[in-house]
Chain A
Amino acid sequence: MTDVSFMGFRRPDGRVGVRNHVAILSAMDNTNPTAERIGSMVAGTVVLSTPFGRGQIGHDLDVTLRTLSGIASHPNIAAVLVLSLSIKAGEALAARIAKTGKPVEVLGLQDEGSATWLTAKGVQVAAQLVADASELHRQPCDLAELVVAVECGGSDATSGLASNPAVGRFADRLVDAGGTIILSEPAEFMGAEHLVAARAVNEEDARRIHDMVQWFEDEAKRHGVDMRGTNPTPDNIEGGLTTLEEKSLGAIAKGGTRPIVEVIEYAEAPSRKGLVVMNTPSAACESMTGLAAGGAQIIIFSTGRGNAIGAPVAPTVKVTGNPNTMNGMPENIDVDVSGILSADLGLDDAGEQVWRQVAKVAGGKLTRCEILYEQQLSVSRFGPSV
């Protein structure tokens, strides 16, 4: 193995997975308890559910379908069992997932007769999917086949000084190796958007970056509120971040310095390799759900004050540059770069630590989020249900 290869699962659609889960996907809120029951009874499964999924129209319907199908289609998923109130109601979602070529089964509560019978049937079907998936084996893959998303949360002054620049070093290296980095949370470009937009390779994408930031400005105006207190959050402020501009200037460092080759919407998959910007909200669970749905096999989560949560399906690597956070929550942190602030660790060496950890995680090493079940699926919503 060289430093640019890892052992991954090659999927029928050509993408490579770093995990080999069977997904129990609840297509709507009313089958969530059954999905949880099946998941708790069958090893090797992950449950994908959302509190919403019924009564949605327009933009929300598009976003929810794109997100749930994106996550279930994810290369870290070997096969999918879709649960729905009726088979017919789950078919649209199943059809989208089946385009990847992976096995997809659909079961309906009304078709099986009750939640109890759906549970029993679901356990039988899921057990077979897991048995089949367990025969798949890892093969040599190139790190350039990875899409790695970079996220930050619980930010403080150390985020912009240490962990984000360290992640940025990783980002540049992966892009240079031919891989893809997704930078998100454009509300946290605010005050630094001129620096981000200037790196877009075409004018249209530069304009979209400005427009995405402006949308958040307009939302603050619509509500007549000062965004400070919501973003930066109370914990950001306690950690020394005074304004959103200051937070943003630190946040963008995690995307590295390479040109931006594409701008995509929430939960869309990049069509190009290189540095890509996705439009997500700054709330970490929503943002990471969109990033995972876009196909990011791994997410790097830079934190200052400390934040334990990870993405669904995509192993989430926690990096901190805050020595107090490292001391306080070591069980939640994968990479400690706090040595940067005591001048014991150079930025390049810190980037190397992130690189090595990501390579290990790609090959199967579990992240703290996976070990401690710190995973949350949360789909962005924009309007009411009908």
Chain B
Amino acid sequence: MEESQCFYCVNCGLPVDKIVILNAVDNVATSLSALSPGAAITLHDGQSLTVLDAVPFGHKFALAAIKPGGDIVKYGEVIGCAARSIAQGEWVHIHNVDSARGRGDLVQDELEPGTLDEGASD
């Protein structure tokens, strides 16, 4: 993963200044500016897509349509799954992505109450 952490379009190696695609298999891109709905993104391979939502700095949008339950891939790794159908160009965040990890809410009565205090970490 480490060496693929470039800040270039993985398709042609040219610098990008608006978005980052970290790995060729990723289906999300990270925005490096605040994108508005309707913004046209041209990738270096000539493909283009239209951003459908406001995408804040550092947030993600879909490079391709993702089916419900489909993997969300960034860094070439699975970072969660689609909670519903996600369209190409759609903002990808907690409203349409579920995490598969740390989901004690999905498990019932397996273990005794523990002792770790709840509280935001950093």
Binding site for B on A (CB under 8 A): 152-158, 160-161, 165, 168, 187, 190-192, 195, 216-231, 233-234, 237, 239-240, 242-246, 249-250, 253, 256-257, 281-284, 287, 304, 307, 322, 324, 340-343, 347, 382-383
Contact = CB atoms under 8 A, between A and B. Distances in A.
Given A191-B101, A224-B104, A225-B104, A257 B2 contact: yes
Contact of A223 (B30, B57, B74, B118): B118
B105 A382 contact: no
Interface in B93-113: 93-94, 97-108, 110-113
A216 B102 contact: yes
B119 A283 contact: yes
A191 B110 contact: no
B116 interface: yes
A37 B100 CA distance: 50
Interface residues of B, number: 50
A242 B93 contact: yes
B69 interface: no
Contact of B102 (A156, A160, A168, A217): A217
A239 B57 CA distance: 8
B99 A244 contact: yes
A218 to B, nearest CB: 6
Interface stretch (B13-21, B35-43, B46-54): B13-21
Counting from the closest, the 6 A-B pairs by CB-CB distance are A227-B102, A157-B58, A220-B104, A222-B114, A240-B58, A153-B122
A154 B59 CA distance: 15
Contacts of B113: 222-223
15 contacts: A155-B122, A157-B57, A161-B30, A165-B2, A222-B116, A223-B104, A223-B116, A226-B103, A240-B56, A244-B102, A246-B74, A246-B75, A249-B1, A249-B74, A382-B116
A245 B80 contact: yes
A160 B104 contact: no
A240 B93 contact: yes
B115 A220 contact: no
Nearest to A157: B58
